[in-house]
């Protein structure tokens, strides 16, 4: 059995009086790709923000490699080894590609290792290497998505959280991004992938969780979910 | 004659630039007009006066002023503004609060130092220097050079250091900066400290120039620095520098050709004209890279 990397136990998160998460349970094991699917407003992004410490949770527990990170500061969580490519990319548009990546490595000290990460990211995304000095705001949507993922990788994460990396991208770019996600995973990074594009996500994932209005309604191997009638109807479209 | 006034204006304008940068730094990251900045500037001058009056000399006075003013600026944020942000208070609440803080600081100075005008030693008085046929005092030149040195230092910090990168990232997208592991709260604290530092340095320089310190001295200087910041495009570092020089020169010319009573109004007249032509300031918004 693989080592448990992330464990979320009965997590509740509220925005004022809105209960966004009503008791989420999920696990991610080392080297897995786990996907979190569900329709708009189900609570996928909130789950991610709770894990990264951006939104405080009301109750429940989040364990990362056995450490309780539920109440930790976001900067400390990054240091422990959780990297995130947020929904909507959120790159720093006024800063250059290189500066964006530098910020990804903000919590790291070792200059040599940071230089290695730069090389690794430029290797993975040659387009970013070509646009090092360009300000991020002038990149295309696909390039910005690559930058957001690259920036997350610069923290040398053990666990990479990706929030809808395919959003708003042309189909060929979506394929490319998914290919790259698999490559990142093969190189030794565990991945929690949030997607509305359930079809693509389930194709590359080991396991999946289906989220509905703040609760996990289904969880299984990705293959099983792909074959599940309810999932097919709700998230994969009848034509699939 | 005209050249002399222009140079006089540039000398003083560099100090206005330093005040303006203090507004720009805070505005950049919090979108807040720090209306207490003028009082903080006066506070810095008083702290220097305190050390000078104890005969410790100018350098210790400078350092003490920078340190204490930086701290009061940080305290204002920590005690009053940070809790408002934590409660997601609207921006107008923060604005009213800093105006309140401004009066509280001013009042404290009146109570502790009384409200009379007190003499401050002339800074770096080594006689006159003639340059392009214009005679400038060493005090003026020192004031210009020190303000310039601090502006250069700030530019280097903001553009070429790790903490500067974190400042630029936080001002652009605080949420994303937080996600990347930047402690945005600490960056805000740091920003208030250097904003206070700029105010203190400017306060000491202007006090040395006019050889005078008084509790309400921040009102006019604050408004000039504010005008300079808006003129250059608030939030833009080099815009503040250009804005400061324009206000300084306009003021010097107005005083010479229109009379001393035009000193204060000039800053605004220039500001109105520029804003009519460029509403977001000379270097404001989707133009050139920001702070
Ligand atoms: N900042 C916020 N303030 C208030 N409500 C929010 C906020 N963010 C999300 N919500 C609400 O929380 C619920 C879950 O949202 P979210 O986690 O963004 O869903 P998903 O990522 O699955 O689309 C939704 O009902 C949404 O409206
Ligand atoms: Mg979402």
**Band (B259; pLDDT cuts 50, 70, 90):** confident
What average pLDDT score do residues A35-42 get?
94
**Band (A237; pLDDT cuts 50, 70, 90):** low
The 3-state DSSP class for residue A153 equals: helix
Give ligand 1 pocket residues (Cβ under 6 A): A 15, 18, 20, 38, 40-46
Q: Are residues A133 and A236 in the same domain?
A: no
The rounded Å distance from CA A74 to ligand 1 centre is 19
Q: Are residues A165 and A224 in the same domain?
A: yes
B38-63 pLDDT, tens digit per residue, is 999 999 999 999 999 999 988 999 99
Q: Are residues A11 and A64 in the same domain?
A: yes
B93-149 pLDDT, tens digit per residue, is 999 999 999 999 999 999 999 889 999 988 888 888 887 788 899 999 999 999 999
Go through A103-116 and write b for each residue having 16 or more CB atoms within 10 A of its CB, e for each that does not. bbbbbbeeeeebee
Name the residue with tokens 């997208």.
Answer: B173
Distances (CA, A) of B131 to A25, B209, B252, B256, B259: 76, 19, 18, 20, 25
Q: Are residues A74 and A190 in the same domain?
A: yes
Residue nearest (by alpha carbon) to ligand 1 atom 1: A15
Q: Which of A53, A77, A82, A94 to mutate to test the interface with B (most CBs of B within 10 A)?
A: A94
Answer whether A91 sits within 8 Å of B177, measured CB to CB: no
Q: Would you say A87 and A164 are in contact if contact means Cβ atoms under 8 Å apart?
A: yes
**Band (A166; pLDDT cuts 50, 70, 90):** very high
Average model confidence (pLDDT) for chain B?
Answer: 92
Task: Mark residue A163 as left, alpha or beta (left: phi above 0; alpha: psi -120 to 50; beta: remaining).
Answer: beta
| C-alpha dihedral sign at B18, B24, B29, B30 | positive
**What pLDDT is attached to residue B39?**
98
Q: Are residues A149 and A181 in the same domain?
A: no
Q: Are residues A165 and A71 in the same domain?
A: yes
Q: Could you tell me which residues of chain A have a Cβ less than 8 Å from any Cβ in chain B? A: 52, 54, 73-75, 77-79, 84, 86, 90-95, 99, 102-104, 106-107, 135, 151, 155
Task: Mark residue B43 as left, alpha or beta (left: phi above 0; alpha: psi -120 to 50; beta: remaining).
Answer: alpha
Residues 182-201, chain B: which have Cβ within 8 Å of A? 182-183
Nearest residue in chain B measured CA to CA from A155: B180
Is the Cβ of B169 closer than 8 Å to some Cβ of chain A?
Answer: yes
Nearest residue in chain B measured CA to CA from A100: B169
Q: Are residues A73 and A100 in the same domain?
A: no
Q: Nearest CA of chain B to the CA of A86: how many Å?
A: 8
Q: Would you say B177 and B184 are in contact if contact means Cβ atoms under 8 Å apart?
A: yes
Q: Please name every residue paired with A195 in a beta bridge, in sequence order, or none if there are none.
A: A37
* Share above pLDDT 90 across residues of chain B, in percent, rounded to a whole number: 76
Distances (CA, A) of B200 to A220, B45, B122, B226, B267: 63, 6, 16, 15, 22
Q: Nearest CA of chain B to the CA of A4: how many Å?
A: 23
Residue nearest (by alpha carbon) to ligand 1 atom 11: A20
Q: Are residues A163 and A230 in the same domain?
A: yes
Task: Mark residue A216 as left, alpha or beta (left: phi above 0; alpha: psi -120 to 50; beta: remaining).
Answer: beta
Answer whether B166 sits within 8 Å of A103, measured CB to CB: yes
Distances (CA, A) of B264 to B117, B157, B249, B256: 19, 32, 13, 13
Is the Cβ of B290 closer than 8 Å to some Cβ of chain A?
Answer: yes
Q: Would you say A4 and A27 are in contact if contact means Cβ atoms under 8 Å apart?
A: yes
Q: Which of A46, A104, A106, A150 to mutate to test the interface with B (most CBs of B within 10 A)?
A: A106
A73-128 pLDDT, tens digit per residue, is 999 999 999 999 999 999 999 999 999 999 999 999 999 999 999 999 999 999 99
Q: Are residues A93 and A181 in the same domain?
A: no
| C-alpha dihedral sign at A133, A137, A143, A148 | positive
Residue A215's H or E segment, with its range, is strand A215-221
Q: Which two tokens stand for residue A178?
A: 């998914």
**Band (A183; pLDDT cuts 50, 70, 90):** very high
| Domain residue limits at A225 | 1-81+159-240
Reference A194, options A85, A64, A90, A117; nearest CA is A85
Indicate the number of domains in chain A. 2
Q: Would you say B41 and B202 are in contact if contact means Cβ atoms under 8 Å apart?
A: yes
Q: Which of B168, B172, B179 sits opposite A52 (nearest CB)?
A: B179
Q: Are residues A77 and A190 in the same domain?
A: yes
**What pLDDT is attached to residue A1?**
63
**What pLDDT is attached to residue B99?**
96
Q: Which two tokens stand for residue A195?
A: 């997607």
The 3-state DSSP class for residue A194 equals: strand
Cα separation, B27 vs B48, whole angstroms: 26
Is the Cβ of B166 closer than 8 Å to some Cβ of chain A?
Answer: yes
**What pLDDT is attached to residue B291?**
42
Ligand nearest to the CA of A36: 1
The 3-state DSSP class for residue A22 equals: strand
Q: Which of B162, B180, B290 sits opposite A151 (nearest CB)?
A: B180
What average pLDDT score do residues B172-201 get?
96
Average model confidence (pLDDT) for chain A?
Answer: 94
The 3-state DSSP class for residue A152 equals: helix
**What pLDDT is attached to residue B242?**
95
Of the candidate ranges A62-71, A101-110, B282-291, the one whose mean pLDDT is the lowest: B282-291
Reference B162, options B177, B152, B179, B151; nearest CA is B177
Task: Using only the alpha carbons of chain A, give its radius of gyration.
Answer: 17
Cα separation, B274 vs B25, whole angstroms: 21
Cα separation, B40 vs A209, whole angstroms: 55
A195-221 pLDDT, tens digit per residue, is 988 989 999 999 999 999 999 999 999
**What pLDDT is attached to residue A234?**
80
pLDDT above 60 (res B289): no
Whole-model pTM: value is 0.91
Q: Are residues A121 and A164 in the same domain?
A: no
Go through B147-175 and write b for each residue having 16 or more CB atoms within 10 A of its CB, e for each that does not. beebbeebbeebeeeeebbbbbbbbbbbe
Q: Are residues A186 and A97 in the same domain?
A: no
Q: Nearest CA of chain B to the CA of A203: how many Å?
A: 28
The rounded Å distance from CA A15 to ligand 1 centre is 8
Choosing from A130, A156, A182, the residue where a domain stops is A156
Selected residue with higher pLDDT from B166 and B267: B166
Can you tell me which atom of ligand 1 is nearest the CA of A38? Answer: 22
Q: Which of B160, B170, B175, B181 to mutate to test the interface with A (most CBs of A within 10 A)?
A: B181
Q: Which two tokens stand for residue B223?
A: 């408004």
Answer whether B165 sits within 8 Å of A54, measured CB to CB: no
B74-97 pLDDT, tens digit per residue, is 999 999 999 999 998 999 999 999
**Band (B284; pLDDT cuts 50, 70, 90):** confident
Choosing from A107, A141, A156, the residue where a domain stops is A156
What average pLDDT score do residues A119-145 get?
96
**Band (B265; pLDDT cuts 50, 70, 90):** confident
Concatenate the DSSP letters of all residues of A158-186 into one string: SEEEEE-TTTT--HHHHHHHHHHHHHHHH
Cα separation, A145 vs A176, whole angstroms: 11
Answer whether B172 sits within 8 Å of A94, measured CB to CB: yes
Three-state SS for chain B is: CHHHHHHHHHHHHHHHHHHHHHHHHHHHHHCCCCCCHHHHHHHHHHHHHHHHHCCCCHHHHHHHHHHHHHHHHHHHHHHHHHHHHHCCCCHHHHHHHHHHHHHHHHHHHHHHHCCCCEECCCCCCCCEEEECCEEEEHHHHHHHHHHHHHHHHHHHHHHHCHHHHHHHHHHHCHHHHHHCCCCHHHHHHHHHHHHHHHHHHHHHHHHHHHCEECCCHHHHHHHHHHHHHHHHCCCCHHHHHHHHHHHHHHHHHHHHHCCHHHHHHHHHHHHHHHHHHCCCCCCCCCCCCCC
Residue nearest (by alpha carbon) to ligand 1 atom 7: A15
Choosing from A126, A156, A186, the residue where a domain stops is A156
Answer whether B173 sits within 8 Å of A92, measured CB to CB: yes
Answer whether B168 sits within 8 Å of A79, measured CB to CB: no
N-term to C-term CA, chain A? 33
């Amino acid at each position: 059995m693989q080592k448990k990397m992330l464990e979320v136990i009965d997590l509740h998160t509220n925005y004022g009086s809105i209960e966004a998460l009503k008791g989420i349970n999920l696990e991610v094991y080392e080297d897995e790709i786990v996907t979190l699917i569900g329709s708009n407003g189900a609570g996928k992004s909130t789950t991610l923000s709770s894990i990264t410490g951006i939104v405080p949770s009301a109750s429940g527990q989040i364990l990362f490699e056995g450490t309780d990170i539920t109440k930790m500061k976001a900067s400390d969580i990054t240091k422990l080894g959780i990297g995130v490519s947020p929904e909507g990319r959120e790159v720093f548009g006024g800063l250059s590609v290189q500066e964006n990546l530098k910020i990804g490595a903000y919590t790291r000290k070792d200059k040599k290792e940071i230089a290695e990460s730069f090389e690794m990211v430029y290797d993975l995304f040659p387009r970013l290497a070509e646009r090092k000095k360009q300000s991020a705001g002038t990149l295309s949507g696909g390039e910005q998505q690559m930058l957001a993922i690259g920036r997350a990788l610069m923290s040398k994460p053990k666990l990479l959280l990706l929030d809808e990396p395919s959003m708003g991208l042309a189909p060929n770019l979506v394929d490319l991004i998914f290919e790259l996600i698999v490559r990142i995973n093969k190189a030794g990074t565990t991945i929690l992938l949030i997607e509305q594009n359930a079809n693509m996500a389930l194709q590359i994932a080991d396991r999946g969780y289906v989220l509905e209005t703040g609760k996990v309604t289904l969880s299984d191997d990705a293959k099983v979910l792909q074959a599940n009638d309810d999932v097919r109807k709700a998230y994969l479209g009848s034509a699939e | 004659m005209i050249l002399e006034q222009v140079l006089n204006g540039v000398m003083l304008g560099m100090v206005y630039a330093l005040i303006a940068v203090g507004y720009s730094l805070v505005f950049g990251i919090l979108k807040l007009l720090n209306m207490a900045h003028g009082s903080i500037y006066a506070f810095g001058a008083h702290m220097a006066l305190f050390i000078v009056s104890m005969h410790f000399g100018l350098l210790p006075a400078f350092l003490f002023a920078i340190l204490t003013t930086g701290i009061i600026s940080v305290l204002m944020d920590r005690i009053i503004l940070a809790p408002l942000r934590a409660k997601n208070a609207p921006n107008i609440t923060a604005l009213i609060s800093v105006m309140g803080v401004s009066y509280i600081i001013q009042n404290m100075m009146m109570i502790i130092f009384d409200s009379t005008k007190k003499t401050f030693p002339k800074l770096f008085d080594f006689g006159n220097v003639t340059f392009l046929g214009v005679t400038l005092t060493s005090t003026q030149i020192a004031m210009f050079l020190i303000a310039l040195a601090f502006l250069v230092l700030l530019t280097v910090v903001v553009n070429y250091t790790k903490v500067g990168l974190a400042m630029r990232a936080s001002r652009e997208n605080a949420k994303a900066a937080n996600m990347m592991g930047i402690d945005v709260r600490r960056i805000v604290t740091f920003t208030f400290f250097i904003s206070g530092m700029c105010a203190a340095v400017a306060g000491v320089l202007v006090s040395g120039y006019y050889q005078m310190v008084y509790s309400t001295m921040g009102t006019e200087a604050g408004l000039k620095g504010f005008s300079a910041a808006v003129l250059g495009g608030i939030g833009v570092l080099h815009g503040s520098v250009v804005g400061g020089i324009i206000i300084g020169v306009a003021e010097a010319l107005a005083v010479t050709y229109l009379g001393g009573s035009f000193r204060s109004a000039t800053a605004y007249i220039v500001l109105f004209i520029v804003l009519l032509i460029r509403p977001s300031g000379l270097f404001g918004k989707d133009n050139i890279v920001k702070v």
